[in-house]
Each structure stands twice: as structure tokens, then as C-alpha cells.
Amino acid sequence: MLDKERLSSIAEDVLYDEPMSAHTTFRIGGNADAFVNASSALEIGKVIHFCEDTNTPYMIVGNGSNLLVSDKGIRGVVIHIGKAMSKCRIDGDEVTADAGILMSQLAHKILEANLTGFEFAAGIPGTLGGGLFMNAGAYGGELKDIVETVTFIAPDGLIKTETADNLKFGYRTSIFAEGGYTILSAKMLLKEGVYDEIKATMADFNSRRSEKQPLSQPSAGSTFKRPDGYFAGKLIQDAGLMGYKIGGAMVSDKHAGFVVNTGGATAKDVMDLIRYVQKTVNEKFGVMLEPEVRMVGEA
């Protein structure tokens, strides 16, 4: 049984029985027992200590842009790192930013400082922390290319800072995906650039994104990782699955690499559709697609 009184005494902003559909870009998900809008690293540490002391499960979320939360919701505590932890400091060509800052906001600040190297991330709909967790990338760039160090709460409860070389950054993964880590901030090294050129590149990427991706419908971004030697979207399209629906979930008829919520989709609809796409593509082309979206919550 969740000790609400004790949790409320250590966290400033706690919501109980909070619908996760309000905190994911998929607009899907049952209720979380408790949803903490974290205000500082100190508060996060206290909440984690509370969870470990009371044997309460917990998880960290950012903008919820790569999550599919189960229809039964999430047992325990969700710690949200967002607006309250979104500071950014720029010193020459070094950018230090909190995990809760949105990538789009960070890109704008970097543009204003005439720095180049972050343009690829301007349209990624997540926080810096979420992006670091999965080593987000687009248009030939990845966060690992520009990250110098990341500061985080380690599984042993200590705050540590590590260089990028020690963080196991790979294609859509990092050491943080192993669990038990809470990303607090990162320092990135960029290069001096020309404002108009940086702005034009960002505009070009955003235009291409808007032209090719179903941005007007709720989704969790690319549903599947890119398999070696193939493109997930093309395999799905060639399998004739564009527009295929199960319940309120549909393979986008604009970009087959996206599963979208056409209205009222459940997590079960999305999972059933993901499995159907995997099975069909594997039968036709011998390729087993691996989901990029993270499935979380009570099974």
C-alpha cells in the first residue's frame, strides 16, 4: 500500500491515480498510482529513497514521447523530469542542460548562441534526458556525437558524472537503458556556426519531418528500430500494411514506420498491431522487427 502521506511530505507536486494518457504523446495509458513532478535532484533522490525503503516500484519519464503505457497503468511512483528541471547554460561552444528541457527548446537556445551540431535534434519530440536514454538521432546525427559528459543518479544512489565513452551509447540505446539510472543533465560540445545557416538546416529538417511523418496524429514516433540492411517503414509498406488497423491503432498511411492513435486506441490495440506487423514482415521478408517504443506498466 502506497504511503501517500509520507510521499507528499517529501515531494512538492504529487498527483495520485493520474492518467498516463495525459503524459504520453501516444495519448494512451491507464493511471499511475502516483505521479511526481520533480523539482530538483535532491527531491528525486528523496523520492527514490522512499521507494526503495518502502519496496515501491518507480520509473522515470520525460516527455513520454517514446512510451506505450499499458491500459492497467503503472503501479508505484512515476517520477517526471520536465519543466521544473529544464535550465540551460551556454559557455562558448559548451552547452550544459538539464534533463527536463525539451529538445526543441534546447535547439532554439543553441541557435540563438550561433552554435551548430544540434540541428538534427530540433524536431525530436522529447526531453534531453529521454533522448540520452535512447541515444536519440535523426538525419545522420546522434546525441552521442556531441555529448561530452552526463550527470546522473547511479543505481547506488550517488550522483556521478561520466564521459560519453563510458556510457555504452549505441543505436537507440545506452547504459541508462540497463535500469536504475536517473539522468540529471548533460554537457555537450558544439561548434561555432552561422545563425542563418543553422536556422535554414533546422527548417529543412522540420519541413522534411512534417512532409513525411504523421505529426498530426498521436504516436510514439518511429515504432520499430531500423533492422540491419533495411528500413522498417519500407518493409512494412512493401508488406501492404499501410493503413492497416486494429481497434483505434493504425499503421500510418503517411509513413509506414509509425503506428498512430486514430482516436480511442488502447495499449492492447497497439500491441496487437505491433505483433501483427512483426509476424507479417517476418513471414514475407524473413526480418523480425524490433520495437523502438518502450512498453511499460502493469501487464
**Choosing from 27, 172, 174, 219, which is the catalytic residue?**
172
CA-angle at 151, arms to 183 and 104, nearest 5°: 60
Tell me the C-alpha to C-alpha distance, in Å, between residue 144 and each of 71, 96, 160: 33, 15, 18
Active site residue 222: yes
DSSP letter, residue 127: B
Q: Report the side by side order of strands in the sheet with 88-91.
A: 88-91, 94-98, 182-189, 147-153, 159-163
**Choosing from 70, 174, 222, 252, which is the catalytic residue?**
222
Active site residue 292: yes
Please provide residue 59's backbone torsions phi and psi, each rounded to the nearest 5 degrees: -145, 155
Strand-pairing partners, residue 187, are: 96, 149
Active site residue 210: no
- Relative orientation angle of helices 195-212 and 103-112, to the nearest 10 degrees: 160
Show Cβ contacts of residue 139 under 8 Å, excluding neighbours closer than 6 positions: 119, 120, 205, 208
**Choosing from 18, 43, 142, 292, which is the catalytic residue?**
292
Q: Is the separation of the CB atoms in 110 and 90 below 8 Å?
A: yes
Instruction: Calculate the CA 204 to chain-centre distance.
Output: 23
Q: Is the separation of the CB atoms in 149 and 184 below 8 Å?
A: no
DSSP letter, residue 278: H
Tell me the C-alpha to C-alpha distance, in Å, between residue 220 and each of 65, 151, 203: 5, 26, 22
Q: How far apart are CA 177 and CA 160, in angstroms?
A: 16
Q: Which residues are catalytic?
A: 172, 222, 292
